[in-house]
Structure 1
Amino acid sequence: MSRKAEFESGLDKFNRISNVSNTVFHIIFILLALVCLVPVVVVLSISLSSEDSIRHTGYHILPTALSADAYHFIMKQGTMISKALGISVLVTVVGTVLGILLTTSMGYVISRPNYKLKGLLTWIVFIPMVFNGGLVSSYYINSNLLGLKDTVWALILPLAVSSFNVIICKTFFRSTIPDGLIESAEIDGASQFRIFWGIILPISLPLIATIGLFLCFSYWNDWFQSMLYINDQNLYSLQALLNSLMSNVDAMAKNASSMGISYATLVATMPKESARMAVAIIIVLPVAAAYPFFQKYFISGLTVGAVKG
């Protein structure tokens, strides 16, 4: 057999193996996508089902009896939902902006090879990724020492900076920003603050989008900080409200009793299961709608920050 024939035979064999591998990977990713998608479809189906059908037939991928009672009920509780939505939006926006500023500035500082305290600060950032002080100590500091209990800052500050995000920023700046660019700016008399704001951040949009998306998801989906630090129901976020609904089916009725409807009547008529799932859908939709706009920057920033060392 000639070399050309051997080469073509080997190429055909490689193509067959490659096609089989691609098919296997396609099947795996389709199954993973279904694992992520099916629960959302089920939640949407429950939110659009009547309470009687849920009570008699249980949960289904497709509703057995369509009903928008849950969404009508939520719309009637405009005061409660609007307060929770306002808190969620406020915490997400302020926390994301503050977190981006703190995380990128810290990552930039420890990425500079001529900074004398780089080693010490790197260890200070790295150690919390392996060890942490525990829930009791953090609660004591945030509640007693800082006085954050029952304030909106209790929902923002504990999540503003993550060691993982700082390490991503450090790796991105060290592997992507040329030292010559910073040195030329220093020769021109620019301060480090001016370099960071005027040069580094404008060319770090993939990184900012990645960290911003991490922080946005973290703040928008968080309910644990509310459970720890918030007793005032006026400071409940949508996620805290959903958690309250999951643990107490009468929570919404108690909050809505001020609307002039008797508590007993409201508990008897409210769509409990479907209302829970409707709130979950309301929480998921903003993030699901925003993600496609950040996807390009997110993938680029995460790849550069994770692969290059």
Structure 2
Amino acid sequence: MKTREDKIFQTSGHIVMMLLSACAIIPIVLLVISSFTDNDTLIRNGYSFWPEKLSFYAYEYIFRTGNSVVHAYGISILLTSVGVVSSLVITTMLAYTISKKYLPGKGILTFLVFFTLLFNGGLVPTYMNYTNTFGIKNTFWGLLIPSLLMNGFNVLLMKSYFVTGVPDEILEAAYIDGASEFKTFYRVALPLAKPVVATIGLFAGIAYWNDWQNGYIYLTKRTDLYSIQNLLNRMIQNIQFLSQNSANISNANVGLAAIPSVSVRMAIAVIGILPIILIYPLVQNNFVKGITLGGVKG
């Protein structure tokens, strides 16, 4: 039976979590409403949950400016899918390897993974290496490979789960039954690590979906390979360029008047985050289990 103190603590906790949830949800709601607000009204009255005039022109502008948003979405979906699968394969196999107690050189491998969290080669050497040695410039690989294919934090997170969440007795039973190391990993350890696999898959998916830097650096000619983030970023840059140089461009004021310069930014943000908002609830349960990293229960 709960005591009065427990009820007060639980109620207080619920109130705090409701406030924190509201702080996360209210800006997103305001963002969506602003994207459907008339641009002139938004400039005149500012952001509001109850705008005077609704308008779909920001979305019409995005989809009718000659930029293939649908094609960019396809590139982003392909990039995210391939990136998540590749990242999970590399991360799980490396993490399982360094989680073995009697692995020769385990300390060195773990140190090398941890070292990548502290230092990197720098932007210029990395760029020269990827472009001159691997030749990924202006290719799909330029979006996939640099910096995001595997993350040291994800490897150490999964390694901790294999150590604390997968009992050695189960692995030893698989060895006794004649299972090979790979079969034990694939049939025994990996299914038990489903929560952390879903968590790391979500981390990798968000990283690939939101990434625009690789496309900005490595795609200098192949604009047809732009992901949705690269395309939307270019649209914002074009609008900013027109706004800053309107005095030097003949008839610029006429063209700028037709551009929803403020509301289009809100619409661009909505288009960029919409898939993440839709997918996150599907993996939420595993995500919560994965970040807690529960130990072996007796």
Aligned partner (choices 108, 122, 147) of residue 135 of structure 2: 147
- Equivalent pairs counted in the alignment come to 286
C-alpha contact 1:245 1:276 (8 A) present in aligned 2: no
Alpha-carbon shift at residue 34 of structure 1 (Å): 2.9
* Whole-angstrom distance in 1 between the partners of 2:168 and 2:212: 42
Structure 2 counterpart SS, 1:159: coil
C-alpha contact 1:99 1:160 (8 A) present in aligned 2: yes
C-alpha contact 2:75 2:225 (8 A) present in aligned 1: yes
Q: Determine the structure 1 residue equivalent to 2:197.
A: 208
Is 1:44 the counterpart of 2:32? The answer is: yes
Alpha-carbon shift at residue 264 of structure 1 (Å): 9.0
TM-score calculated relative to the size of structure 1: 0.82
* Whole-angstrom distance in 2 between the partners of 1:268 and 1:249: 12
* Whole-angstrom distance in 2 between the partners of 1:221 and 1:299: 21
Alignment of 1:79-158 (within 5 A): 80-157=68-145, 158=147
C-alpha contact 1:43 1:277 (8 A) present in aligned 2: yes
Structure 2 counterpart SS, 1:96: helix
The AA in structure 2 aligned to 1:50 is: D
Q: Determine the structure 2 residue equivalent to 1:269.
A: 258
* Whole-angstrom distance in 1 between the partners of 2:144 and 2:30: 32
* Whole-angstrom distance in 1 between the partners of 2:258 and 2:88: 45
* Whole-angstrom distance in 2 between the partners of 1:41 and 1:193: 47
Aligned partner (choices 197, 210, 214) of residue 221 of structure 1: 210
Aligned partner (choices 1, 5, 19) of residue 31 of structure 1: 19
- Greater shift, 113-122 or 88-97, is seen at 113-122
Could you say if the C-alpha distance between residues 52 and 264 of structure 1 is closer, same or farther in structure 2, counting changes exceeding 3 Å?
A: closer
C-alpha contact 1:244 1:251 (8 A) present in aligned 2: no
* Whole-angstrom distance in 1 between the partners of 2:238 and 2:64: 20
Identity %: 38
C-alpha contact 2:95 2:158 (8 A) present in aligned 1: yes
Write the deviation string for residues 266-291 of structure 1: whole angstroms up to 9, x where unpaired.
Answer: 65423232222212112212111111
Q: Determine the structure 1 residue equivalent to 2:182.
A: 193
Write the deviation string for residues 250-304 of structure 1: whole angstroms up to 9, x where unpaired.
Answer: 689xxxxxxxxxx997654232322222121122121111111111111112211
* Whole-angstrom distance in 2 between the partners of 1:270 and 1:239: 20
Could you say if the C-alpha distance between residues 264 and 85 of structure 1 is closer, same or farther in structure 2, counting changes exceeding 3 Å?
A: farther
TM-score calculated relative to the size of structure 2: 0.85
Q: Determine the structure 2 residue equivalent to 1:6.
A: none
Is 1:64 the counterpart of 2:30? The answer is: no
Q: Determine the structure 2 residue equivalent to 1:287.
A: 276
C-alpha contact 2:228 2:272 (8 A) present in aligned 1: yes
* Whole-angstrom distance in 2 between the partners of 1:156 and 1:50: 38
Q: Determine the structure 1 residue equivalent to 2:246.
A: none
Larger radius of gyration: 1
Give the aligned CA root-mean-square deviation in angstroms.
2.7
Aligned partner (choices 164, 173, 181) of residue 184 of structure 1: 173
Higher helix share: 1
C-alpha contact 2:165 2:192 (8 A) present in aligned 1: no
Alpha-carbon shift at residue 131 of structure 1 (Å): 2.5
The AA in structure 2 aligned to 1:152 is: F
Unaligned runs of 5+ in 1: 1-10, 253-262
Structure 1 counterpart SS, 2:19: helix
Q: Determine the structure 2 residue equivalent to 1:242.
A: 232
Alpha-carbon shift at residue 196 of structure 1 (Å): 1.7
C-alpha contact 2:67 2:231 (8 A) present in aligned 1: no
Q: Determine the structure 2 residue equivalent to 1:259.
A: none
The AA in structure 1 aligned to 2:197 is: I
* Whole-angstrom distance in 2 between the partners of 1:194 and 1:30: 45
Structure 2 counterpart SS, 1:66: coil
Alpha-carbon shift at residue 23 of structure 1 (Å): 5.0
* Whole-angstrom distance in 2 between the partners of 1:275 and 1:134: 34
C-alpha contact 1:143 1:149 (8 A) present in aligned 2: yes
